[in-house]
Structure 1
């Protein structure tokens, strides 16, 4: 268990590097204060996984460094019932001039392991890291992925009660990431608590029991993953302009200078929202414009009933843009063969500039549509989608 109460942290911010020296020489203030964290409060129970998301600069890494003892807070308290071990920014706690083996000892001691624990676990750490002969080489010869392998192997074998994981995990290759995720699930199933920071919203929804959204050093939301991720998407969309008194759907957010006013989906053959795997599907949206705006893109994301992303695209990625003039309405559509396995799904739509909704979002409509894949046309298959394979002999 870990309890965080009233946590605050600020840093000095100088306009020029020389201002630090001027401050010492002239005993005058040449800096202002940047509040990285303000009044942070949360509690993580035994066996619970807490996700932390937010824009770059929101305070996520600063928070983890304080929890791990790398930084001291200006105010507030942290109480925990066990050993806290963290996988933070790459290189934290390492001596890049020492070999991997030597860093296992020094980093392990920093994480609270005893000499006897290190002697017992060193072989397991080396085996898990899969660095081969590089374990005897200095860390300055390692790639970032190799450093991450060693850091994770040491941290997870430090027998923590609370495990802190930063975005550093995303540096490794796919094989090692999956290996790390399996180890994290084993740790969680054994009653360990995890605080997980990531920009991968799919991983956040898959791994976490609860999610905190940070914005400008403050807690914007704290709740179940789907709700918290929606808050975060709302933050990215820039919901700072009130919706106009036009026919705009409920539950959307954005600046609404252009909007999605209606949406429907159907199977090309069935003509209903119940489609068959293998059937062509249509997703149609009606758009309206209320201001002079640049060319836009319409994006969609299909999610399963657990909120996991199944497929996403947008008109920009497909080489098309949408030109709208003030007062104009337009119908646009996606057509695609439905390849997903039978089940319940939702479609989220976003009207935005550029390649994704983080670039000037005009209207984000979460779970705008629900549909069902009710059967399979053609050969049966396993998994989440049909890749329509061809088998050849010889």
Structure 2
């Protein structure tokens, strides 16, 4: 049609522009970005599914992983037959396939469905098969896209455990996920993509904060860094001046597990506004342990122009001993993505120094009651035996 009319019938779109990074052996890099930023295109280029229009990609060894669900599968073939086809596509030899076939099937947990056509599989079953093949291909680099998100929780944990073991053996990982916690836990550093460009390359925590600013629509002109370790940004028409934590003895930064504390946000406003006030507690690994805001609680906060107000949260610190940070925010609705007035990351740090109530294992305390009941028939049996 273009040849006949002389008019362009297409629009040129640059998915990636001037991307440059290296991935070392044993290193895990996370890739963050909004939808359409170029994350999946980057993985396809690295894996060899797509060829770059310009530039050079240097690979050293076999690269496997999970891209889009169903990539490399023939829906008419059974899962068993697709193992042979897909494994060949990623470079496995016939001997390797035969040697690892039973392990691949066992890891996928597909059971009798392994001999059913893949077109009858759910998205979770396709993910199981794809991951099982890729992780057993003995790669030097493993690529993981958002495909893991379709699996059930137990199988996701199984996959992440296998990925960590792969990394501990010296394998390299390129990991794309909107799950910020998993990026922080798994990756040594992270790239943030926007409109096909890398706008940040550094530590996962710093990358996460840059990502939060990006999705909140906050540009550099609205940033207001308090110091080198704290990130503070937003429109600042309503802002938080100070954050304190206090128990019954007063303001402090060391508390006992289960102890009741009051978090106070000292705020001022240059506008009349009804906003959501939020708090977020993270552990020393950067994992989000607990967060809430007044929108979720059904109690929006009211601010008046030129006014000064204290906002207080009272809560028990039912967390395991360790060091934590407290992030605070003012925004519209239930997330800071909408009309972010002030996001102050790590506004306060505190430590849970020990247990004041019942000890527990894990991250958080949950009230538990235990009862023992002997069924009537069991009691009668014990009596007859005696």
Q: Secondary structure at the match of 2:325?
A: strand
TM-score with structure 1 length normalisation? Answer: 0.89
Q: Is the 8 A contact 1:237 1:253 kept in 2?
A: no
Q: Secondary structure at the match of 2:100?
A: helix
Which has the higher mean CA deviation after the structures are superposed, 119-128 or 304-313?
304-313
User: By how many angstroms is 1:200 displaced?
Assistant: 0.7
Q: Do the aligned partners of residues 243 and 168 (structure 1) sit closer, same or farther apart at CA in structure 2, a change above 3 Å counting?
A: closer
After TM superposition, which residue ranges in structure 1, 4 or more long, deviate above 6 angstroms? Answer: none
User: By how many angstroms is 1:272 displaced?
Assistant: 2.5
2:345 equivalent to 1:353: no
Name structure 2 gaps, 5 residues minimum: 374-386
2:46 equivalent to 1:71: no
Question: How many residues in Structure 1 have an aligned counterpart in Structure 2?
Answer: 370
User: By how many angstroms is 1:205 displaced?
Assistant: 0.6
C-alpha distance after superposition, 1:207-262 (max 9, x if no partner): 001111111111111112122222222222322374599xx956411222321222
Name structure 1 gaps, 5 residues minimum: 1-21
Q: Which residue of 2 aligns with 1:255?
A: 235
Q: Which residue of 1 aligns with 2:383?
A: none
2:165 equivalent to 1:186: yes
Residue from 295, 299, 310 that aligns with 1:331: 310
Q: Which residues of 2 match residues 1-394 of structure 1 at below 5 A?
A: 22-23=1-2, 25-240=4-219, 242-243=221-222, 251-269=231-249, 271-291=251-271, 293=273, 295-394=274-373
Q: Do the aligned partners of residues 234 and 163 (structure 1) sit closer, same or farther apart at CA in structure 2, a change above 3 Å counting?
A: same
Q: Secondary structure at the match of 2:256?
A: strand
**Bigger Rg, structure 1 or 2:** 2
TM-score with structure 2 length normalisation? Answer: 0.91
Q: Secondary structure at the match of 2:83?
A: helix
C-alpha distance after superposition, 1:69-107 (max 9, x if no partner): 111211111102111112101111111222111111111
Structure with higher strand content: 1
Q: Is the 8 A contact 1:249 1:262 kept in 2?
A: no
Aligned partners of 2:111 and 2:261: how far apart in 1? 49
Cα RMSD of the aligned pairs, angstroms, is 1.9
Which has the higher mean CA deviation after the structures are superposed, 299-308 or 74-83?
299-308
Q: Is the 8 A contact 2:271 2:303 kept in 1?
A: no
Q: Secondary structure at the match of 1:80?
A: coil
Which has the higher mean CA deviation after the structures are superposed, 300-309 or 380-389?
380-389
User: By how many angstroms is 1:126 displaced?
Assistant: 0.6
Aligned partners of 2:79 and 2:281: how far apart in 1? 43
